[in-house]
Structure 1
Amino acid sequence: MPPTLSRLFLVAHNIELRIVSLIVRARELADDVVLLDAGSSDETVQLANEIGCQVVRIQDQRGPQALARLLIQEDLIAEHMLLINIDDSWRLTDLSMSVNRSRERWDLHIAYHERSEEGVELDDLVLGTLGLRHVAMSLKGCESLATMPASALVADVPTALRVRFVGVEAPIQLPQRESLATASRFAQLFYWMLESKHPLLLFGIPGLVLFVLGYRLSGDLGTLLQEVNSTSVGVTLVTVAMTLTGLFGMMVALILYIMGKQVERIQHQYNWPKDN
């Protein structure tokens, strides 16, 4: 039976849009999840704290040796560990593959972004400069990494360890679109409306008022349409517009209210506390 993953470390920076889903998914695969935050300036740390994830601040400890020393210093080492570097090319679908590698009983399994340099052998690469994708390590592997200097080469990794290095081709990076920022602002506004119960105030009450007014005005349409002129046509169009707008507003309020209840259910399921 493959060993269970004792602790999963997420090295991340400014990933507020996906930190919650990432931690929730990681908790399904590991006994414990720790966020190693590389100086995020958004709400990444706050969101991780809200769902009860331990957060450790890191500075320039991005190489495998420095990270291994940090884990030992913070007393975070465990029998089977997995460290994942969450960068722009990483996707949530990559998580299961990395976890599977950690269950193969490697002392060190390091996936890194391949370079386009020609004539450079893997053994000649400086270990600390590898573009890490993930590091799966045992307790013995972590302790060995921690003793290696920053200038150590891949060839300097102790041969007594069960080690594997896997190069991963970096995907093509498309330029970020401004629509992502717009979508983020819209998502924050949408969530604020759900949390503050504003859908019923912003859409429900105005929608009800417009619908009632439109309904009351529709009672006089029969009299107005006996003589077709610009006034009667205008009143008819206004009445129809008010009625439909009011009906649409009430439907939107009802849908957002139901979605808010679903958000509360998910928060309760994952013990996500809300601010009072």
Structure 2
Amino acid sequence: MTEATNREHDSSLQTAHDTAAVVVSTAEADGDEGVLRTILRAEEHGHHVFVYCVDRDSEIAQFARRLDATVVELDPGLTIEEQSRSLAREHGFPGVIHLESPEQHLDFESSRTKLRNSSEYMIPARIEYEVESNLLIGVPAYNEEVGIGSVILSAKSVASEVIVVDDGSSDDTVEVAKTAGATVIEHEENKGKGAAIQTLLETVREREFDTFVLLDGDGQHDPDEIPLVAEPIHDGEADLVIGSRYLDDSAEDETPAYRRVGQRILDLLTLGPSKTRVTDSQSGFRALSPRAVDELAVTTDNFGVETEMIDLAARNDLTIAEQPIEARYEGIDGQTQNPLRHGLTVVVFILQLVRDRHPMLFFGLPGLIFLAIGAYYGIDAVLVYQNSGLFYPAKVLVSGFATVIGSIGVFVGLVLNRISNMLQRLDDSTL
């Protein structure tokens, strides 16, 4: 068999390139996930991948072709290094980065710098980090078949286990997640993101771990940033870390304007019940310590779960920190709910939190406003009658109605606030 017939050339392969080619080989099924992850990450960084397969018709070879990699069968008369140099030069690549093991996590920036500073055409890849056996990843998913595979493959490079809770998807999310190597737990019907996170927390409580990271399955978050978000937990500096899209001004500029405005409103509303100021209260990219996993007993089934986690963390005296992250929106096919409906769902949940946690604020403040309105119209009606002798029944009715409603609001707020304080002291005494 000649070298020409051994090669499977990608139809999109050009004759000149600005970035180096990445060479990776696979001989066993154990390396399949690493190969697919490397291809996906290389594509994000603008590199083309040559995959050396023992069997050109194997499942991994077929997957590699679908991901636009070039599948190559090793020429018995050449080493991988010799064949790779020849193949890369033939197609105009400026150099070659050789990844010895597909399970290693390639550091693209460092490898490119090393290649530029080297006189060699082919260099061994620099490795970014290894798998952390004490790190668990949780992914709530609903109809995420498009992006969840790449999320899992990338996440598995730094974690011992990726757990996906499929919330009653009607597409192939479960099959894709299992193929990518995740532990999949299925809900028979769609219950909501909060319900999926509840299942994740219950599952993780039965595991041994140091850090638990939550991220969305639509590909909006970059799994390469998992170590960054998990770092404060690993260093013992925080119990809950929120990956914020708004700590970095450049990242905020990439956020669509309508999302940015909505997020700001929700951040301000979240400040009410939780008394904790964060820059991205609705981010689904979070890291939790074992203590946080034990104490964040969320109850909401819907998108208000992010706000509830912050509120529970504040109430349980957990340390909250933020880390800057990037998020992408173009090409994301995972938005399962209309943004307006999503926002309204969170607003309603926040109002429920204010009602339950701060009844004096929820009932008493509107009550005081109604009392002020009643006093204004009542005094105005009295002054007009004294000065002109004219009687305005409408003003008197408005004054009376507002005064009654306001009095009821203040009374209910005082009573419920007293009950809330008693329950809080009772909870504190049982701890």
TM range (shorter): 0.3 to 0.5
TM-score using structure 2 length:
0.32
